[in-house]
Amino acid sequence: MSEIETIQLAQDLSICRILNGMWQVAGGHGQIDHDSAISQMLEYDKNGFKTWDMADIYGPAESFYGDFRNVLEEEKGKDELKKIQGFTKFVPNPGPMTRSIVEHYIEESMKKMNVDVIDVLQFHWWDYNDAGYLDALHQLTKLRDAGKISHLALTNFDTERMQIMNDNGIELISNQVQYSIIDQRPKVKMASFCTNHNMKLLAYGTLLGGLLTEKYLGVTEPTRADLDTYSLQKYMNMIDAWGGWQLFQELLVVLDGIAKKHNVQIANVATRFVLDKPAVAGAIIGSRLGLSNHMTQNAKTFSLKLQNDDYEEIKSVTSKADDLFESIGDCGSEYR
């Protein structure tokens, strides 16, 4: 396999630039078997994909990670645990965010993940009208200072709220947002904000749940019944907002040509496109643990170098699309 590409997300934190996303174990992506999942997590680790992204709302994801850590330690020793990174998310329902409430949820995650310290805690908030998100961040900062969290980060916040946090002295290392060839909203405002404030972006939805692959090249528009995972359903809505199936087919034709030129696949081109964007530290690619395996193929992204004419060809299609920043708003607006 290609050499694994890493990046410093923080001074003391190096991560793989392709993170293993665990949303798929939460349901709606096929039945995940526990033992098969842990076995494949060990395989990801063996092949250098050592950074895991999960959340307290992703079903058994945190517990899977904890069990994976247990097996890894049994097989390779405690030092091996220092080589992996576990990112989780705190996604509370709006309401009072006291120290005891926030600490309870963080300790629950720590227990499930089998960690003494959470490497990166990514915070999400559903309702901007409830300013309790600042209370939560102040409590999370105290927990970080107390040693229960190494780094604080965000998921699906917009640039306006990031500025408010910055004005309130909240130190953050990253924001996890949707970023793909068809959804380039982060480049409008957020990327420059991150660059100016020493933050990074973690991108998800980069492959549109699998729609940005050869499987959908040259096929008629799938019906809702054909879209048999939550990811496919979610990102089909993004394609509709972006410009529709016919324009998406034009894009796939271009991406297929670029992929063939570089002896890779469409998914590699789509991932490299996002990894090359300013402020992007990594792309989160979903892992349907025990059901599918794309490790060898994903690794080809690391040796891929896109050329100027590749970008121009992609732009020749994306320039015809609707402006998602105008129609949806800044990153994360689709959740509010």
- What digits encode the pLDDT tens for the residues 248-264? 999 999 999 999 999 99
Question: If pLDDT is split at 50, 70 and 90, which confidence band does 28 have?
Answer: low
Task: State the DSSP string of 227-289.
Answer: --SHHHHHHHHHHHHHT-HHHHHHHHHHHHHHHHHHTS-HHHHHHHHHHTSTTEEEEEEE--T
Mean pLDDT, range 220-243, rounded to an integer: 92
In Å, how far are 154, 177, 213, 229, 269 from 265, measured between CA atoms?
31, 24, 8, 22, 7
In the block, residue with structure tokens 């300790």: 107
Specify the DSSP element, H or E, that contains 313.
helix 308-318
In the predicted model, what is the mean pLDDT of residues 120-136?
96
Asked if residue 147 belongs to a domain, the reply is yes
335 occurs within a structural domain: no
The pLDDT score that the predictor gives to residue 224 is 86
Confidence of residue 229 (pLDDT cuts 50, 70, 90): confident
Query: In this model, does residue 25 exceed pLDDT 90?
Result: no
Q: Count structural domains, the chain.
A: 1
pLDDT for residue 94: 86
Residue 328: inside a domain: no
What confidence score (pLDDT) does residue 291 get?
63
Q: Tell me the pLDDT of the chain averaged across its residues.
A: 95
| CA nearest to 160, candidates 311, 14, 331, 298 | 331
Helix axes 230-242, 245-262, angle to 10 degrees: 110
CATH number at residue 45: 3.20.20.100
Q: Report, as an integer, the average pLDDT of 169-185.
A: 98
pLDDT of 83 = 97
Residue 92 forms part of a structural domain: yes
Contact residues for 312 (Cβ-Cβ < 8 A; gap 6+)? none
In a domain, 264, yes or no: no
pLDDT given for residue 200 in this prediction = 98
pLDDT at 77 over 80: yes
pLDDT at 108 over 90: yes
Domain annotation covers residue 140: yes
- Nearby residues of 50 by Cβ (< 8 Å), 6 or more positions away: 16, 44, 83, 84, 85
User: Is the pLDDT assigned to residue 56 strictly greater than 90?
Assistant: yes
> Region 108-136: what's the mean pLDDT?
97
Dig out the tokens for 24 from the structure. Answer: 């798929």
pTM assigned to the model = 0.95
Q: For residue 72, what are the domain limits?
A: 6-210+274-305
**Domain membership flag for residue 198:** yes
- Is 252 part of a structural domain of the chain? no
